[in-house]
Chain A
Amino acid sequence: MAGSGNAHLRPRDQVLLQVEDLVVEFPAGRGRTVRAVSGVSFDLARGETLGIVGESGCGKSSTARALVQLPPPRGGSVRLDDVELTTLRGEALRRTRRRLQMIFQDPISSLNPRRRVRDIVSEGTRVWGAGGDRVDEVLEAVGLDPATAAVRRPHEFSGGQCQRISIARALVLEPEVVICDEPVSALDVSVQAQILGLLEDLKERYRLTLVFIAHDLAVVKNVSDRILVMYLGKMCELAASTELIERPAHPYTRALLASIPGSGLDLPPADRLIKGEPPSPVDPPSGCRFRTRCPRAASRCAEEEPEIRPLTGGHWVACHFPETA
């Protein structure tokens, strides 16, 4: 589990965004290194939503930031259409990066408290000197009144509305890919449903391709076509949403699903599928990174890192001993 490999990538001409062997590392002090992402690959076809799910420290947010090159990854490639983003610098990067946009978890810290909402949303159009007429349209599309937005500042809006403002800001430059990093985790259930519904509507209306990152599998399943499960900087499993939830093959995916209260799935209790706590990404285990918590781990798991391999059509798993139906 928790392995690497590129066998699951589709031919380049079929996908809009392709990420290959992504490596993100940063210093942890005293000469040590946090291995946040270690060889993750995935791709997105135009109009597709890929969900990335995992617990804290699995590298999902580091992956999101590496996609927009903030900061550029330590290794691997991020390709948008024909453009390799990781080798771009300066002005060329600035021009290409705008084709990807991001939405963040914290609706408060995502917005500059000292600017008016309309200025926040129209910032992109001012920088690029075009699309000013789009601002009102986008504001209305996310369900905000342009007249109110012209005079108010973010603190006068609720968390859900602030998230709408963030979405409007991301959409104003007509991006091709929108990366949503835990966009609904800070919201109440009733507001969460509104934002998820809004994202689906906007995806249709503006033909967006979405990377949807969250820790909540039920939320991810609700919006995604395919789901990638990550653990400690590695890939575990990739499959179509329903396939992944109904026939989880990776021991970690199974544990994650079994831990969800009232999941309604036919799985053993979670305490039989996973034990202990995640190890530190500063000093990850050898071989399969999940083996220290895996009830199926054998000596092979410590020696050899599992490569991602096909299980059935479109269902990929990185494990030496996956669950097979």
Chain B
Amino acid sequence: MATLERVAQPRLRFLAGLVPLACGLLAVLIANIPLALLGGAVPPPLLALVPVYFWCLVRPDLMSPAAALAIGFAEDVLSGGPPGVWTLAFVLTYALVARQRDSFAGLSGAVAVMGFAAAAAFACAIAWFTVAGLALLTAGAHLPPLGPIVSELAMTVLFYVPTALVIGWIHHRLVGASRGDI
């Protein structure tokens, strides 16, 4: 099936190029709707990391570092945590995935989920260490506990497969396979 980007006018093609960023921002919005299911026993997943990871592997020309920065910034604003923490985590995770693209892109099946889990663990670790560093700068502050960030990592990995299926469908329908097809 011909994608929108291949057949459409240049203006529509430009709009199709914005789909990864829009998906990332939409994922931020969905994940940060402040409604705690299960009585807040589990934190919401980092849904926005899935489009960043996915399009960083498949179409890095559309998921640029600036787009990762914007998505991380939106996550920071809506999640309410210390400012800049998720921005830094998303950008550094993007850098890791971009540097190891061949390794990550070669994974398939359950191992692909493990690849994403490694990237998500890296992002969560960056966030935890950043908050811990900020806490050390504040007199009398406690180090953040590890339990909640591990729960968030588990939830993010749990939601990876359904989110990646939706994003894959959007990619097929709206974006297109590769830059060479444009």
Do A and B make up one complex? no
